[in-house]
Amino acid sequence: MVVGDMIRMTASRDPAKIGIVSDEVQLSWRQFNERINALANAMLSLGMQKGERVAILGRHSHRYLEWYLAVAKAGLVGVPLNTWLKGGELSYLLRDSGASVLFLDPDYTALAGTLDLAGIRMQIGMAPGHGCSLDYESLLAGASTEEPSVSVDEEDLFVLSYTSGTTGQPKAAMISHRNSCAATLSHIMGMSMRPHHVFVMHAPLFFLAASNNRFNAIYSGCRTIVTTFEAAKIIRLIESDGVTHLTLSPTALQRMLEAPELDQHSLRSLEMVAGSGAPFSVSLVQRAIRRLGPIWHVIYGASESCIGTWLLKESWQAEGVESKLLASVGRAAPNCEVAVLDSKGHAVPGDSSSVGEIAIRGDSVTRGYWQDPEATACAIRNGWFYTGDLATCDEEGFIYIAGRSKEIIISGGINIFPGEVEGVIAEHPGVAQCAVIGVPDAEWGETPMAFVVLKQGMQASPDDIIAHCRSRLASYKKPRFVEFMAALPLTASGKVLKSALRDQAGAMQEAGSKYSASPPPSSS
């Protein structure tokens, strides 16, 4: 199976059903597939060749989904661009990928004006007011809606998925049709998605996990609502549209739980809420379960693997909110093998204390990085993709994230895992979010520093946070420095951008500041 087969099969099974809802637009599966075919045929008629890289700087909409699937059917290679980046960063992605075509939404016309477009031979505007020579809807109107006559193989490249680039320049994971289809099938099995379900697609579509995780809704025939995230809007949609499935990052979940609208609308239709994108504190998960019900799942993976593990609600429900499994990312997802490996490539003991690196293999794992054999050889060894995430596992094979391998704090020769310290800080009743990094220390080499976002209306001092940690952790693990923030800097996938925190810590150290000089800001 290749990516284009998924929408073709869904349109064949249930052609008249309204499948895609995007703002005021409602499309049946047949209409959606015909628009995809028309776009694919239009791109081919413009001279785009199989394997050519086609970039998009677009708004979250049904057109973005059509672009993904049309690229797949035409045998092209998609390059989704992160709209949160600046001109220089995006110009690097265009040059590195060798993209020659750019789809542009008018919302990003000003941003596009800052790009190096020397390699772009064609620009296609995606909505009224774009100013491009070629218009998306006009191309569709003049093209055939028949299935494109292009031979696409499951080993052909589908997308170049750029990593978040938290350390160094972003790398492009080469995602094939096989990778994407395998991940989609795993998601469908894990999320138990069926045609009668309703899914809200709100995560940025330039983020591969967001797009790939959404093909499961398309292939299973779920009604799919395409919208941007706003807590009040999502809460209203759950009640008005009978939403059954929802994925949330820690920040999005936090905002939903704090939204006043949460107590004003019924959430009874929800069957599954899946956490993804970044680690969740146990205290946040417990709050979610108490408010939303026992429907919590976890999805863990990487851009390079599309998926990795699942923590299904059935795993922890018997023990309830006190289950230790709420700290886990679960076990291997269907069609995946997952292991926690030591430096010699051997599985660590399932003793909940031995730390290794999470490695994944299976049909969803990338073949490597675009034009970067050195990075490929470093990340993929003996068939395993090494994620860079450190973890422990218990005797039943459940995996617990300890932190990133590049983020270990070595204090006096002893390893401190930021994830452990973050988990303890998150248990403080006033804390909404937190992140821990290592900062230089003349005596110990490094020492932990915590960045904390307080819950709305709550107060705490640096000494409160340190005392809380001292009572629950070995003394050397407690943070020595605490900085309060209104919000943590995040990547597109919802992970904390620790490079930005290190920059801030460096500036504070130079200024000789131990704690915040001003009162802690409230969470926004």
* SS3 per-residue string spanning 422-459: HHHHHCCCCEEEEEEEEEEECCCEEEEEEEEEECCCCC
Closest CA to 265 of 313, 223, 231: 231
What would the CATH number be for the domain defined by 1-152? 3.40.50.980
Closest CA to 209 of 280, 302, 331: 302
Question: Would you state the pLDDT for residue 523?
Answer: 42
Cβ-based neighbours of 212, under 8 Å, separated by 6 or more: 175, 180, 183, 184, 187, 306
Averaged pLDDT, 369-395: 94
Higher pLDDT, 407 or 333: 333
- Pairing between β-strand 445-454 and β-strand 431-441 as defined by DSSP bridges: antiparallel
Closest CA to 161 of 369, 380, 373: 369
Distance between CA 263 and CA 42 in Å, rounded?
A: 48
The pLDDT tens digits for 249-262 are 888 898 999 999 99
Residue located via tokens 């807590």: 231
Count of other CB atoms within 10 angstroms of residue 123: 18
Question: Would you state the pLDDT for residue 496?
Answer: 86
Structure tokens at 135: 């218009």
The pLDDT tens digits for 128-174 are 889 899 999 999 999 999 999 999 999 999 999 988 654 457 899 99
Cβ neighbourhood burial of 443 (10 Å; 0-12, 13-18, 19+): exposed
382: left (phi over 0), alpha (psi -120 to 50) or beta: left
What would the CATH number be for the domain defined by 408-511? 3.30.300.30
Question: Would you state the pLDDT for residue 167?
Answer: 47
Find the helix packing angle between 29-45 and 3-13, rounded to 10°. Answer: 140
Q: How far is CA 89 from the centre of its chain?
A: 19
The pLDDT tens digits for 412-422 are 777 788 888 99
From-to residues of CATH 3.40.50.980 in the chain: 1-152
Q: 19 φ, ψ to 5°?
A: -105, -35
Q: 424 φ, ψ to 5°?
A: -70, -45
The pLDDT tens digits for 205-221 are 988 655 566 799 999 99
3 state DSSP class of 252: helix
Distance between CA 213 and CA 203 in Å, rounded?
A: 10
pLDDT classification of 524: cutoffs 50, 70, 90: very low
Kindly state the helix (H) or strand (E) to which residue 310 belongs, with its residue range.
strand 309-311
Question: Would you state the pLDDT for residue 516?
Answer: 44
> Poorest-confidence range of 43-52, 375-384, 473-482?
473-482
Question: Would you state the pLDDT for residue 209?
Answer: 59
Query: Would you state the torsion angle of the CA atoms of residues 69, 72, 74, 79, taken in this order, to the nearest 10 degrees?
Result: 100
Distance between CA 409 and CA 107 in Å, rounded?
A: 42
From-to residues of CATH 3.30.300.30 in the chain: 408-511
Residue type, 372: D
Provide the CB-side half-sphere exposure for 325 (13 A, CA): 21
Question: Would you state the pLDDT for residue 234?
Answer: 97
Residue located via tokens 């407690």: 478
